[in-house]
Amino acid sequence: MNEIIHTEQFSENVFKLVVHAPRIANSRKAGHFIILRIDEKGERIPLTIADADKKAGTITLVVQKAGVTSARLCRMNPGDRILDLVGPLGKATEIHQVGTVLACGGGVGIAPLLPIVEGFKKAGNRVVSVLAARNKDLIILEDEIRKWSDEVIILTDDGSYGSRGLVTTGAEQVILQETVHECVAIGPAVMMKFTALLTKKYNIPTQASLNAVMVDGTGMCGACRVNVGGHTRFTCIDGPEFDAHQIDFDELILRLGGYKNEEKEAFERYSQEQNSQACKI
Amino acid sequence: MQNLRNDREQEWRIALRGKMKNKERTEISRVRMPEMDPQVRILYQDREVNSGLDLESARREASRCMDCVNPTCIGGCPVSIDIPRFIKHIENGEILEAAKTLKETSALPAVCGRVCPQEKQCEASCFYPVKLKKDAVAIGYLERFAADYERESGHISVPQVAPRNGLKVAAIGSGPASLSFAGDMIKLGYEVTIFEALHEIGGVLKYGIPEFRLPNRIVNVELEALQQMGVRFEKNFIVGKTAAFADLKAEGYCAFFVASGAGLPRFMSIPGENYNGILSSNEYLTRVNLMNAANSSFDTPVLKGKNVAVIGGGNTAMDSVRTAKRLGAERAMIVYRRSREEMPARVEEVHHAEEEGIEFLNLTNPVAYFADEKGRVSSMRVQRMELGEPDASGRRRPVVVEGSEYDIAVDVVVVAVGVSPNPLIPSALPALKVSRWGTIEVNEETMQSSVPELFAGGDIVRGGATVILAMGDGRRAAAGMHRYLAEQSAMLKS
């Protein structure tokens, strides 16, 4: 259980891990996430499931180095085991036949977008995907997204791949060229905020999938609370997807920084340990 | 009842009663629990406050018990421990026998001896306070003593189990209700698996109650005993998500006991409550107790505040505020809207908190929070309250004193105003009847729910209670499920 079967480096800081977790592979749906703890001293972090293979009993996770745990995960190799892995958590994405779906993915957010794109395509929708990132290296899973999209638009901040621009540039282009019935946005909070502002202007129902601070992931801690339409909701059990037009993104952005100092200190300690030549016993 | 009488008429009990006159017994004053110095203990997150009785003082305290003909104390115990028998074994110096007696009905004596509110249960119905207006026999201290003595002796008894009957049952959640359920079912011969969502077994005993009140190693010993009896633990498993109920039935599980707890923290819905630095007691305690956040060699962070306010007056609030003190808070405050008398926390916990320099802002209620430019809470506005007429709970209702608002500087706020039932199980089973508060509805005697093969107990039924009430539910559910499964198999045979 929880053995890493395969790893792949997408870019300097983004890695793919395929993990043996047959129960989760069997029961997960688009939109679900897991919580993992690498070892006895590890913290619990949530990661959205990017893909699963029921036959092989594996799930695919995409991790971006951001703190101690993600950095550790990115250094793991096939054959290594993750001590604790629980899921699938959260509510699955509500997938119906609606017509045309605009799927917007920002950076590492493209990974959780993949199963949703697949789901909407399989449900008989026309799917137009807009993928955006800072540069070419950070555009991930392009082939997989293309497999389930009728059209793919790619944008980078620096113009190193696709057109130069932000996700909203591409999204507006689609909205102006055809009728969009529903939009899904996953990526950094700022990217989702501006995507939501854009689709609100055009009155297009939009779901955003949030990645909040969590401890248990089962509703117990309340660290992941988010303001949706003036009410406090828990990302872990009420989400992770919410009506993007109702989310208070400014509060979300502040809350994502809630442990910034502690995380920074921990990362500095971790980097020192990694660079230290001293005996580790 | 007859068994109790017969036991009482055994020779050794009669002889023991004859050893000392009742008058002599009642003249002994109640033992005091030795405690660690408050100024020292606040320096450690993991040092237990109460250090336990020694053999001599335990036997002396045990001799206070009059071995009543009608032991009313047992009626005060939710798991019906044969209290006089275990206490008389202590008086007789047979401590291992006392421990065995406890284990006949309680899966967790070392835990209950520490965290049960005995002063409201067995000790409240003891002959001493009821008839003599004297301090009760220290049943809780003695329970702890017997369990600790057994553990430290290395001669840990494992209760007898019936031969396996080939039937598989599951308990969902691994807190006190499930552990108590599992202990009874394994004794009856069932194959029992406990499914736990977290990475540790023990539920609230691990993530909630701090080390200074209930060390994890004590809980682990009781878990090992269950494991030795044959109970299986499956961690990182959310029934209804990791696998559906139908999947588990297909794997052979005949019935389920749901004890998934009241794991959903309540907030007050007041302005600014989502600022950083404001968190639930569940989050705060889980970070420290389950994730070891106070130890810098562990990865999980915890916010350490200079001025920490804990909102609430229950045991969880006391645990949180005393944790804050141990994490270095200069000012650790309880903010509670009623007066000291109405606090639901145990008297002992309030007393310990006071000794440790906790400030009590009673009759005070927060109304709003303010933050710095980074969104971190910097102050809270509170208003004073006064007590009016009694409300539905029988306690005097707190009423706002108009114009009494003032601000307090805070950098961490822990909200401990109660919990709601965890919705994961009910949402996985649409046929399950739940109340409008989200608690699972059960038959109070059998703990059976509207889904016949599903029983439930603990906080998911009660909405927020104590370890021992949860354990009582576990025992009743085990008896109820045993009867149900016997009826089912009889029906199959006929």
pLDDT 10s digits, A33-86: 999 999 999 999 999 999 999 999 999 999 998 888 999 999 999 999 999 999
Q: Given this model, what pLDDT does residue B1 score? A: 63
Contact B286, A221 (CB under 8 A): yes
Inter-chain contact A69–B267, Cβ cutoff 8 Å?
no
Inter-chain contact A232–B273, Cβ cutoff 8 Å?
yes
- pLDDT band of residue B422 (cuts 50, 70, 90) is confident
Contact B257, B180 (CB under 8 A): no
Residues of A with CB below 8 A from B263's CB? 216, 218-220
A265 against B229, higher pLDDT = B229
Give the whole-angstrom CA distance, residue A1 versus residue B199.
14
Residues of A with CB below 8 A from B417's CB? none
Residues 223-242 of chain A whose Cβ lies under 8 A from any Cβ of chain B: 223, 225-227, 232, 234, 237
Residue with tokens 């202590």: B90
With a cut of 80, say whether residue A152 has pLDDT above it.
Answer: yes
Inter-chain contact B199–A266, Cβ cutoff 8 Å?
no
Inter-chain contact A223–B299, Cβ cutoff 8 Å?
no
With a cut of 80, say whether residue A205 has pLDDT above it.
Answer: yes
Residues of A with CB below 8 A from B239's CB? none
Q: Given this model, what pLDDT does residue A277 score? A: 62
> Across chain A, what does the average pLDDT equal?
93
CA nearest B408: which of B299, B306, B312?
Answer: B306
Give the whole-angstrom CA distance, residue B394 versus residue A86.
43
Q: Tell me if chain B has a CB within 8 Å of the CB of A24.
A: yes
With a cut of 80, say whether residue A276 has pLDDT above it.
Answer: no
Give the whole-angstrom CA distance, residue A139 versus residue A144.
12
DSSP secondary structure code for residue A258 in this structure: T
Tokens, residue A35: 């919580």
Inter-chain contact A41–B299, Cβ cutoff 8 Å?
yes
- Runs of H (alpha helix) within B211-289: 216-229, 245-250, 281-285
Give the whole-angstrom CA distance, residue B372 versus residue B370.
7
Q: How many CB pairs under 8 A join A and B?
A: 126
With a cut of 70, say whether residue B70 has pLDDT above it.
Answer: yes
Here the ipTM equals 0.92
Which segment of A166-175, A182-191, A259-268, B16-25 scores lowest on mean pLDDT? A259-268
Contact A247, A266 (CB under 8 A): no
Where does B391-452 show beta strands of DSSP type E? 396-400, 406-409, 412-415, 419-420
Residue with tokens 């601070």: A213
Dihedral angle sign, alpha carbons of residues A217, A219, A225, A227: positive
User: How many Cα atoms occupy the beta-carbon half-sphere of B34 within 13 Å?
Assistant: 7
Give the whole-angstrom CA distance, residue A58 versus residue B40.
51
Contact A149, A119 (CB under 8 A): no
Contact B449, B433 (CB under 8 A): yes
pLDDT 10s digits, B82-139: 999 999 999 999 999 999 999 988 889 999 999 988 999 999 999 999 999 999 999 9
Residue of A nearest to B297 (CA): A41
Inter-chain contact B243–A23, Cβ cutoff 8 Å?
yes
pLDDT 10s digits, B156-202: 888 889 999 999 999 999 999 999 999 999 999 999 999 999 999 99
**Dihedrals phi, psi of B23, to nearest 5 degrees:** -65, -40
Residues of B with CB below 8 A from A88's CB? 241-242
A29, A43, A215, A248: best to mutate for the B interface, most B CBs within 10 A = A215
Tokens, residue A268: 């500095």
Contact A82, A36 (CB under 8 A): yes
Which segment of A209-213, B232-236, B368-372, B402-406 scores lowest on mean pLDDT? A209-213
Give the whole-angstrom CA distance, residue A133 versus residue B336.
49
Question: Hey, what long-range contacts does A192-198 have (CB within 8 A, 24 or more apart)?
Answer: A192/A106, A192/A244, A192/A247, A192/A249, A193/A249, A193/A250, A193/A253, A194/A166, A194/A167, A194/A168, A195/A104, A195/A167, A195/A168, A195/A171, A195/A244, A196/A244, A196/A245, A196/A247, A196/A249, A198/A168, A198/A171, A198/A172
Amino acid identity of A108?
V
Contacts of residue A231, defined as CB under 8 A and 6 or more positions apart, other chains included, come to: none
Q: Are strands A126-133 and A151-156 parallel, antiparallel or unpaired?
A: parallel
Contacts of residue B153, defined as CB under 8 A and 6 or more positions apart, other chains included, come to: B95, B96
**Bridge partners, residue B409, by sequence:** B379
Give the whole-angstrom CA distance, residue A31 versus residue B12.
67
B241, B275, B295: best to mutate for the A interface, most A CBs within 10 A = B241
Q: To the nearest 10°, report the CA torsion of B5, B8, B10, B15.
A: -150
Give the whole-angstrom CA distance, residue A188 versus residue A33.
17
Residue of A nearest to B301 (CA): A262
Residue of B nearest to A263 (CA): B301
With a cut of 60, say whether residue A280 has pLDDT above it.
Answer: no
With a cut of 60, say whether residue A98 has pLDDT above it.
Answer: yes
Residues of B with CB below 8 A from A226's CB? 274
Contacts of residue A229, defined as CB under 8 A and 6 or more positions apart, other chains included, come to: A243, A246
Residues 253-292 of chain B whose Cβ lies under 8 A from any Cβ of chain A: 263-265, 267, 269, 273-277, 279-280, 282-283, 286-287, 291-292
Residue with tokens 């350490």: B304
> Across chain B, what does the average pLDDT equal?
93
- In the sheet where A4-9 sits, what is the strand order? A4-9, A14-20, A58-64, A45-53, A33-37, A84-89
Residues of A with CB below 8 A from B282's CB? 220-222
Tokens, residue A68: 């101690």
Q: How far is CA A281 from CA A38, A113, A277, A278, B296, in A?
A: 20, 43, 12, 9, 17
Tokens, residue B140: 């809780």
- pLDDT band of residue B336 (cuts 50, 70, 90) is very high
User: B156-166: buried (b, 16+ CB within 10 Å) or exposed (e) per residue?
Assistant: beebebeeeee
Residues of A with CB below 8 A from B273's CB? 232
- pLDDT band of residue A279 (cuts 50, 70, 90) is low
- Runs of H (alpha helix) within A189-248: 189-201, 235-238
- Runs of H (alpha helix) within A123-239: 142-147, 167-177, 189-201, 235-238
DSSP secondary structure code for residue A247 in this structure: B
Peptide bond into A240 cis (omega under 30): yes
A69, A91, A221, A247: best to mutate for the B interface, most B CBs within 10 A = A221
Count CB atoms within 10 A of the CB of residue A203: 8
Give the whole-angstrom CA distance, residue B338 versus residue A210.
38
From the list B198, B207, B424, which residue is nearest A237 (CB)?
Answer: B424
With a cut of 60, say whether residue B76 has pLDDT above it.
Answer: yes
pLDDT 10s digits, B243-257: 999 999 999 999 999
Give the relative orientation of helices B83-91 and B11-19 as an angle to the nearest 10 degrees: 60
DSSP secondary structure code for residue B299 in this structure: S
Q: How far is CA A275 from CA A1, A38, A270, A272, B61, in A?
A: 31, 20, 9, 5, 59
Residues 82-111 of chain A whose Cβ lies under 8 A from any Cβ of chain B: 83-89
User: What is the average per-residue pLDDT within A17-38?
Assistant: 95
User: What is the average per-residue pLDDT within A189-213?
Assistant: 95
